[in-house]
Amino acid sequence: MSDMTANNAPTNVGADQNNPTSFAKKFYNAAWRWHFYAGLFVVPFMLTLAITGLIMVYFNSIETRFGEKLYVTPQAEMTAPTQQLETVKAAYPDGFIKQYMPAPADDRASLFTVKTEAGNMIVSVAPYTAEIIGTVEKDTTWFYFANDIHGSLLIGDLGDRLLEIAAGLTLILIVTGLYLWWPRDGKGLRRVLMPNLSAKGRSFLKELHVSIGFYISVVLFFFLISGLAWAGVWGGKFVQPWSSFPAEKWDNVPLSDETHGIMNDGAVKEVPWGLELTKLPLSGSDVGKIGVPEGYAVNLNSMVVLARAIGFDQQFRINLPKGSTSVYTISADSMDGDTVTPTGDQTVHVDQYTGKVIGEVGFEDYSLMAKSMAVGIALHQGDMGWWNTVLNALFCLAMIFLCVSGIIMWWMRRPKGAGRLVAPPPPTDLPLWKGAVFIMLLLSLAFPLVGITLLTVMALDLLVLSHIPFMKKAFQ
């Protein structure tokens, strides 16, 4: 937002159009107006994303994500994974055991994920005694709740679409905000980079709003693109299908109709972005290379031995077969916080009958976009260390400030009892309008939902709002 006010309509339009100063003022007014209306839609969504982001950063980096019981007292010898599995089966005879995470250290518990009628349970098992030491219903935790809001506003596809529109319009906010920020009227770059802390009232808020907005603009752009790549239309229909790992690279491996995405747990994404749409291989053929040696049983014990033999030497997970043609999947990736860096992502599929390795994907096999997303999501989630956690928390707080300060500045600028939005006045003539239309067309092509939204708003303005006096006044 800005303190600019509209100039009176020029009496000599022809002369005015040849005046560069007048052109600049009109374009500034237009940019401010676009900034205002984009912010009007975006603010509630950005506030929601920033607040839920803070919650997720806290539980992802400081507390455990779902409240699992993680630590145990080390003893002389661990029990076999199959013995721990039997304990969990006995506790949940009607449940399906989806995933096993072996204890990654001597003082850590093993974790099982069990799908039950009540929901997904995380079961902590003491590896030395095979006793259950803790359970938590995953779907009812604060992290899961915040993640669900962050991804869909708790209203499924509609929420996903609304957030995608908000993210696209936020790109307009960034562009117009940077244009409004750009030093002019004799102000140097340093004057804009350093806010005037001696200002008072609305001017003080504006100084902070402008400077903080500039400093986080690059980070915000990065967060928006990494978030949009998972959105239902731009991500799910365009970018992700083109960038996913092609399962056909696995020679002569029979493929399922199901994709890796089925291993995600409800609202929580647990599969690398570049694999979500990749088809899973099927068990039951004779293809693949030696994994579990002949003569050894293919079970949870041999899967753990195999995983460690092929390089899974820290935290990793094993997804168990859910049917007669399913596979064991051994994985360690940044989505689950298993790897220290995203470049350590590794996924291996093993035939549940022969024990042969029938599919492998590592970070080096990802497409350029998938590699970018692997790194981007790790940064987005704050998985890269304490510095990442602190920066993400500061970013979320900065976003909350920008949203709240924008609302306060509008309220302070708004005349008392106006009964309308009091949007920045439009210029009487818009120079460079062709360039603005070109930018809008580019956004429409790159982000279809944003384009549809802009066209809908224009049609609504031309066909409805401009013909109904009280509505026209309300949106001025």
The phi and psi torsions of 312 (rounded to 5 degrees) equal -85, 85
pLDDT at 453: 77
Q: What is the pLDDT along the chain (476 residues), one digit of tens a residue?
A: 344 333 433 444 444 445 555 666 777 777 777 888 888 889 999 999 999 999 999 998 888 889 999 999 999 899 999 999 999 999 999 999 999 999 999 999 999 999 999 899 999 999 999 999 999 999 999 999 999 999 999 999 999 999 999 998 898 888 888 888 777 666 667 766 788 888 888 889 988 998 899 999 999 999 998 888 889 898 888 899 999 999 999 988 999 999 999 999 888 889 999 999 999 999 999 999 999 999 899 999 999 999 999 999 899 999 999 999 999 999 999 888 888 788 999 999 999 999 999 999 999 999 999 999 999 888 888 888 889 999 999 999 999 999 999 999 988 887 776 666 776 766 665 555 555 666 666 766 677 787 777 777 667 666 665 566 655 555 55
pLDDT at 152: 94
Give the whole-angstrom CA distance, residue 278 versus residue 35: 39
pLDDT at 10: 41
Give the whole-angstrom CA distance, residue 169 versus residue 42: 7
pLDDT at 341: 85
Distances (CA, A) of 93 to 80, 89, 318, 321: 20, 5, 20, 17
Give the whole-angstrom CA distance, residue 245 versus residue 259: 11
Give the whole-angstrom CA distance, residue 405 versus residue 212: 11
Nearest to 319 by CA among 329, 327, 305, 309: 329
User: Any idea what DSSP says for residue 71?
Assistant: B
Ranges of beta strands (E only) in 316-367 are: 317-319, 327-332, 346-351, 357-362
pLDDT at 325: 96
- In the chain, which residues fall in CATH 3.10.450? 81-140
In the numeric block, which tokens belong to residue 262? 């089925």
pLDDT at 470: 58
User: Which residues, including other chains, have CB under 8 Å from residue 185's CB and lie 6 or more apart?
Assistant: none
User: Which residues, including other chains, have CB under 8 Å from residue 113's CB and lie 6 or more apart?
Assistant: 97, 98, 99, 120, 121, 122, 123, 138, 265
Report the CATH fold assignment for 81-140. Answer: Nuclear Transport Factor 2; Chain: A, (3.10.450)
pLDDT at 427: 62
User: Any idea what DSSP says for residue 234?
Assistant: I
For CA atoms 158, 160, 165, 166, give the dihedral sign.
positive
pLDDT at 104: 93
Q: How long is the chain?
A: 476
CB count, 10 Å around CB of 273?
26
**Residue 465: which H helix or E strand, with range?**
none
First to last CA, the chain: 15
Give the whole-angstrom CA distance, residue 123 versus residue 184: 60
Which amino acid is located at 383 in the chain?
D
